């Protein structure tokens, strides 16, 4: 196809070299503009420090909506609007987890209830802890062994995978299913070892899901607490006591924020986006404040460099990725209903770390075409086009047959801080954040030009 | 050569696939061992927290020597020894830099004297500041314009280069030559804008060099102080006053620390190393505590996995890289005098960040051979074999015709903290550090097996 044509032209000594050179010059312009004049880092400071974390349904999320609207206008969007969507309202409230050995005193543990979990309704719920190291171990337990117990799923995050998203994927089922599995055998609540690549005492929240109506609580503890608990359980019985107010409090009208620059040739759409909501701890800096400010930077860069976009470049700041994906689903639904042609959609929701690649979820022909541009990206440290997943918010678009993608930043540090108090602005490096924005702008420039 | 042979074998359907597969299995073993059982991170904690920074000639450097000796023995070295070397003794002492506008009050600035700089001998030295933005601007000034002035070289670190070492290289001449250039035209001392990729108020030290006997002081200020000073100078005259005790205090006997596991087939040597000294601020964590603990990890991994090394694998913890390179020079001199055959030497002195490649300084044939192994490294995020420099401590070996190399970690964060109070253990990520150690072990495994 394109590539063969290119090769042929090269053999003929024709203009393909000029073409590649033109693209290469444009790539350098984009990178130079963003590294020197990018505003993403300062905007991230505003979002994280002035607004902070912003769970769906919270007042701070609504502040973030107003903020994002303004930032899209400032960046030069031709059109900015809010897309209505009903989101779940989950509230943490007060929570405490204590343990005691027989004859010992109660000792508080650092913990976080898992997102979407029901609490104890403000009452103490206690029982003896039994620990399992894996699903296989849990499956062997009889209901008699689990009845009235607290099940502690102490499954460690695998350090072996090079891409930490694989370690996360491997452990994710413990977070999502621990409560329902425990309830099925009559346990009182579940404790999980956090999905964390770090060896520290930072608990990680994140969404869980009930499989039925037996809604018992699930909480997470940090790696060192998990290790200490395991050590104690070797020699003695431990009682745990949970008291928490968390729970789902219905739904609320909320919004995704959308801004675009209109296509000069046609109105077909190229989407770049991240999610505006975050968990209710830390500042949602890497997850996914970074993705929001990077996406806005793409739009600003097209405007500032005066790049004539053939197609509409649209930034979508999705609502409610963390505990419902209602924003992503609503966006997909609207695209379908309006029969709105989309060429390509890319999400950035893997942290504001130094970019290494782009993951491509699309047919083989389109993937190969993008891979044929790899040499243009290589000078920017972006070499990895092998992955075939895309962002959570984009699955509804993928289901409509739209080619989707995700920025692949370096993953080593992400799961140290993901969904924790530690996901703060200070953990984001300015140049790394801006380089990610540059990669996004470059791929969108190529798609806009060639598709 | 090798590669053609490989291709031929593949065409013949012979053992090359088995060979590549065997290497690939060994790479995975190395990575799994280090990511799960590596001790480099804990050792770095010991070095940085128990010993701290360790400038050549200081008591803490000598503590680091004893520590490194022990760690090499613990790691399983067959032989550990100290290599004597005379090192310069530079001492910072007390220092202060103040500025004042005409009629205003003195105001202290955060600053660091540059390493190897002479101070003011404890006396106040003051004068009017004149600012230049570049060497070209400075060259245009007459001695009359500079006489008795304080020259402020406000050259910004370029944000445009993707690899920040290029930005550093571009700005480095300001640090090394500012004092002598200022002295030549009769100025009293020089202030430089720090060689920093960050926009903060952290001054960066680092070595400077006198070109002649006119030894006037040179100091560095952080980026925001530099910007504020530039702003003030737009509208008014500013006087600066420096008082410092720093200076060169002769030489002292010190040591590089060396440990090795003896080659099973022959005694030719493969070197992996970093430098044990650091600047006298911060903890020398990325620069170059990381390199030291990664190098020791290589040796430990060969032992722990029971890899039969054909050649001698030698870890060299070089003395005095920062302000003299006396350790590297002595090592090269000894190799030459003893006519000790060296196959390859690699240094890790660019921070303990996630690895991206290996820089290769050697003849084309050897470089191409290593590049032909790229597919083995790719699953570990190591793809970049294009660079052709190697570590400072290895230049004496390079001059002897020995192939040299350097680990290429991601460079985005390095020059935010390089040579500052901020280069602390907390800035190093465990997995990133260990992945670097894994890359070093993998390349040495390949060299040992194939050369």
Pairing of strands B355-361, B404-409: antiparallel
Of A322, A318, A355, the closest CA to residue A333 belongs to A318
Q: Where in chain A is the domain with CATH 3.40.630.10?
A: 2-13+24-89+250-450
Q: Give the 3-state secondary structure percentages of chain A, helix then strand then coil, rounded to 5.
A: 40, 25, 35
pLDDT given for residue A19 in this prediction:
82
Give the DSSP per-residue string, A357-387: EEEEES-HHHHHHHHTTHHHHGGGT--B---
Which two structure tokens, joined as six digits, stand for A407?
Answer: 């920025």
Averaged pLDDT score across all residues of chain B: 96
> Residue A318 and residue A397: Cα distance in Å, rounded?
13
CB nearest to B412's CB, from A159, A416, A429: A429
**Closest CA of chain A from B225, distance in Å:** 19
Which CATH entry fits the domain spanning A2-13+24-89+250-450: 3.40.50.300, 2.20.25.160, 3.30.70.870, 3.40.630.10? 3.40.630.10
Nearest alpha-carbon partner for B203 in B446, B423, B444: B423
**Inter-axis angle of helices A430-450 and A16-37, nearest 10:** 150
Residue with tokens 């930072």: A202
Are B376 and B450 spatial neighbours (Cβ–Cβ below 8 Å)?
Answer: no
pLDDT of residue B355: 98
pLDDT of residue B20: 87
Nearest to B381 among A35, A160, A356 (CB): A356
* B14 pLDDT above the threshold of 60: no
- The pLDDT value given to residue B360: 98
d(CA B225, CA B282): 20
Q: How many residues are present in chain B?
A: 451
- Contact status, residue B277 vs residue B105, Cβ threshold 8 Å: no
How far is the alpha carbon of A151 from chain B, nearest alpha carbon, in Å?
26
From CA B215, how far away is CA B213, in angstroms rounded? Answer: 6
- B138 neighbors B151 (Cβ within 8 angstroms): yes
A260-313 pLDDT, tens digit each: 999 999 999 999 999 999 999 999 999 999 999 999 999 999 999 999 999 999
> Under a CB-based contact definition with an 8 Å cutoff, are residues B97 and B221 in contact?
yes
Averaged pLDDT for residues B359-373: 98
Mutate to test the interface with B, among A162, A411, A434 (most CBs of B within 10 A): A162
Contact predicate B390/B347, CB 8 Å:
yes
Spell out the residues 6+ positions from residue A376 whose beta carbon is closer than 8 angstroms to its own: A20, A23, A24, A27, A442, A446
Which residues in chain B are closer than 8 Å to A162, comparing Cβ atoms? Answer: 31, 379-381, 435
CATH 3.40.630.10 in chain B: give the residue spans.
2-88+250-450
Residues of A in contact with B432 (CB under 8 A): 412-413
Token reading at B86: 């005379």
Is pLDDT at B9 greater than 50 in this prediction? no
Mean pLDDT is lowest, of A9-18, A80-89, A293-302, for A9-18
Q: Chain B: give the shortest CA distance to residue A198, in Å.
A: 8
The predicted model gives A354-360 an average pLDDT of 98
**What is the reported pLDDT for A366?**
98
Say whether pLDDT at B11 is over 60: no
pLDDT of A18 higher than 90: no
Residue A10 has pLDDT above 60, yes or no: no
Judged by CB atoms closer than 8 Å, whether chains meet at B159 and A36 is answered as yes
Band the pLDDT of B120: cuts 50, 70, 90. very high
DSSP run (H or E) holding A256: strand A247-261
How far is residue B99's CA from residue B95's CA, in Å, rounded to a whole number?
Answer: 14
- β-sheet with A218-221: strand ranges across: A107-109, A95-101, A238-244, A125-132, A150-153, A189-193, A218-221, A112-113
Q: State how far the Cα of A178 lies from the Cα of A192, in Å rounded to an integer.
A: 7
Question: Looking at beta carbons, which residues of chain A come within 8 Å of B379?
Answer: 162
Distance CA A206, CA A112 (A): 9
Query: Would you state the pLDDT for residue A17?
Result: 63
Q: Is the pLDDT of residue A16 over 60?
A: no
d(CA B62, CA B59): 5
Q: Which residues of B touch A198 (CB under 8 A)?
A: 430
Q: B198: nearest CA in chain A?
A: A430
Of all residues in chain B, the one with the smallest CA distance to A413 is B429
The residue-averaged pLDDT of B166-175 equals: 98
* Nearest CB neighbour to A435, from listed B31, B356, B412: B412
Angstrom distance (rounded) from CA B302 to CA B306 = 6
pLDDT over threshold 60, residue B13: no
DSSP state of A262: -
Q: Residue A419 has what pLDDT?
A: 98
> A88 and A116 in contact (C-beta within 8 Å)?
yes
Nearest chain B alpha carbon to A384: B381
Give Rg (Cα) of chain B: 24
Cα separation, A247 vs A235, whole angstroms: 35
Does domain B2-88+250-450 bear CATH number 3.40.630.10?
yes
Euclidean distance between CA atoms A170 and A160, whole angstroms = 11
pTM of the entire predicted model: 0.95
Q: Which residues have C-beta within 8 Å of that of residue A198, sequence separation ≥ 6?
A: A223, A415, A416, A417, B430
- Separate counts of helices (H) and strands (E) for chain A: 15, 15
Structure tokens given for B426: 């907390």
Q: How far apart are CA A224 and CA B218, in angstroms?
A: 47
Contact B301, B437 (CB under 8 A): yes
B210: its two tokens: 């006198």
Note whether A415 and A168 are within 8 A (CB): yes
Burial of A213 (C-beta count, 10 Å sphere; 0-12/13-18/19+): exposed
- List residues of B whose CB lies inside 8 A of any A CB: 31-32, 35-36, 159-160, 162, 164, 197-199, 354, 356, 379-381, 383-384, 410, 412-413, 416, 429-432, 435
Name which of A163, A376, A431 to mutate to probe chain B: the one with the most chain B Cβ atoms within 10 A of its Cβ: A431
Contact assessment for residue A219 and residue A192, using Cβ atoms and an 8 Å cutoff: yes
At A286 the pLDDT is: 98
pLDDT at A6: 40
Q: Where are the beta strands (DSSP E) in A285-391?
A: 312-318, 342-347, 355-361
Q: Which chain B positions have a beta carbon within 8 Å of A383's beta carbon? A: 383-384
Q: Please report residues of A whose CB lies closer than 8 A to that of B197.
A: 431
- pLDDT at res. B260: 98
What CA–CA distance (Å, rounded) separates B151 from A116? 61
Owner of token pair 């190969």: A368
Q: Give me the pLDDT at residue A169, please.
A: 97
For residue B358, the cross-strand partners are: B407
Q: Classify burial at A375, counting beta carbons within 10 Å of its beta carbon; exposed 0-12, middle 13-18, buried 19 or more.
A: exposed
CA distance B340 to B332: 10
pLDDT of residue A102: 85
**Residue B362 near residue B405, CB atoms below 8 Å:** yes
pLDDT (tens digit, 9 = 90+) per residue, B268-299? Answer: 999 999 999 999 999 999 999 999 999 999 99
Count the Cβ atoms, other than its own, within 10 Å of residue A211.
12
ipTM of the complex as predicted? 0.95
Nearest by CB to A412, from B36, B160, B432: name it. B432
Residue B272 to residues B165, B313, B314, B358: CA-CA distances in angstroms?
A: 21, 8, 6, 13
Interchain proximity B159–A35, CB inside 8 Å:
yes
Q: What is the DSSP letter of B370?
A: H
B157: number of Cβ within 10 Å: 21
Contact A118, A244 (CB under 8 A): no
Q: Which of these, B314, B313, B315, B317, lies nearest to B288 by C-alpha position?
A: B317
> Residue B158 gets which letter from DSSP?
P
Over residues B431-448, mean pLDDT? 98
Residue that the structure tokens 């006037």 belong to: B216
Please, which pLDDT band fits residue A14 given cuts at 50, 70 and 90?
A: very low
Q: What pLDDT digit, counting tens, does each position of A175-197 carry?
A: 999 999 999 999 999 999 999 99
Q: In the numeric block, which tokens belong to residue A417?
A: 């801080």
What pLDDT sits at residue B17?
Answer: 63
Q: Which residues contact B21 (CB under 8 A, 6 or more apart)?
A: none
Distance between CA atoms of residues A120 and A133, nearest Å? 25
Of A160, A379, A384, the CB nearest to B162: A379
pLDDT, mean of residues B330-344? 98
pLDDT at B18: 76
For domain A93-245, give the CATH number.
Answer: 3.50.30.30
Could you give the 3-state DSSP secondary structure of residue A87?
strand
C-alpha separations of A246 from A123, A190, A195, B26, B293 in Å: 12, 15, 20, 49, 45
Three-state DSSP class for A275? strand
Q: Across the A/B interface, how many CB contacts are shorter than 8 Å?
A: 63
Pairing of strands B312-318, B269-275: parallel
CA distance B354 to B380: 10
A10-19, A160-169, A321-330, B50-59, range with the lowest pLDDT: A10-19
């Amino acid at each position: 196809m394109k590539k063969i044509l290119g090769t042929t032209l090269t053999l003929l000594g024709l203009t393909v070299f000029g073409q590649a050179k033109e693209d290469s010059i444009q790539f350098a312009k984009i990178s130079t503009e963003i590294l020197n004049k990018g505003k993403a880092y300062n905007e991230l400071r505003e979002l994280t420090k002035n607004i902070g974390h912003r769970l769906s349904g919270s007042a701070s999320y609504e502040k973030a909506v107003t903020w994002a609207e303004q930032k899209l206008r400032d960046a030069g969007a031709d059109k900015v609007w809010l897309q209505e969507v009903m989101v779940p309202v989950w509230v943490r409230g007060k929570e405490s987890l204590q343990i005691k050995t027989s004859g010992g005193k109660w000792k508080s543990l650092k913990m976080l209830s898992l997102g979407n979990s029901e609490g104890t309704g403000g009452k103490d719920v206690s029982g003896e802890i039994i620990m399992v190291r894996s699903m296989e171990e849990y499956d062997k337990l009889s209901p008699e062994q689990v009845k009235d117990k607290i099940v502690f799923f102490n499954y460690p995050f695998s350090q072996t995978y090079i891409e930490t998203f694989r370690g996360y994927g491997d452990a994710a089922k413990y977070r999502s299913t621990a409560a329902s599995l425990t309830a099925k055998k009559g346990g009182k609540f579940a404790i999980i070892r956090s999905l964390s690549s770090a060896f520290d005492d930072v608990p990680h929240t994140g969404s869980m899901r009930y499989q039925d109506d037996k809604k018992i609580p699930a909480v997470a503890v940090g790696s060192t607490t998990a290790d200490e608990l395991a050590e104690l359980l070797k020699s003695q019985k431990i009682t745990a006591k949970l008291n928490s107010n968390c729970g789902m409090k219905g739904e609320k009208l909320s919004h995704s924020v959308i801004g675009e620059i209109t296509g000069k040739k046609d109105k077909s759409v190229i989407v770049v986006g991240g999610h505006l909501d975050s968990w209710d701890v830390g500042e949602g800096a890497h997850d996914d404040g970074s993705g929001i400010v990077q996406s806005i930077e793409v739009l600003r860069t097209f405007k500032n460099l005066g790049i004539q976009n053939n197609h509409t470049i649209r930034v979508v700041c999705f609502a409610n990725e963390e505990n419902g994906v209602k924003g992503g689903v609503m966006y997909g639904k609207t695209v379908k209903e309006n029969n709105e042609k989309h060429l390509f959609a890319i999400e950035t929701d893997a942290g504001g770390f130094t970019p290494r690649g782009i993951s491509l979820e699309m047919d083989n022909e389109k993937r190969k075409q993008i891979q044929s541009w790899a040499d243009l990206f290589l000078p920017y440290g972006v070499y990895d086009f092998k992955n075939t997943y895309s962002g959570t918010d984009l699955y509804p678009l993928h289901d409509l047959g739209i080619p989707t993608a995700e920025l692949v930043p370096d993953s080593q540090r992400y799961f140290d801080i993901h969904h924790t108090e530690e996901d703060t602005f200070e953990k984001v490096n300015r140049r790394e954040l801006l380089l990610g924005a540059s990669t996004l702008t470059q791929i969108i420039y190529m798609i806009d030009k060639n598709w």
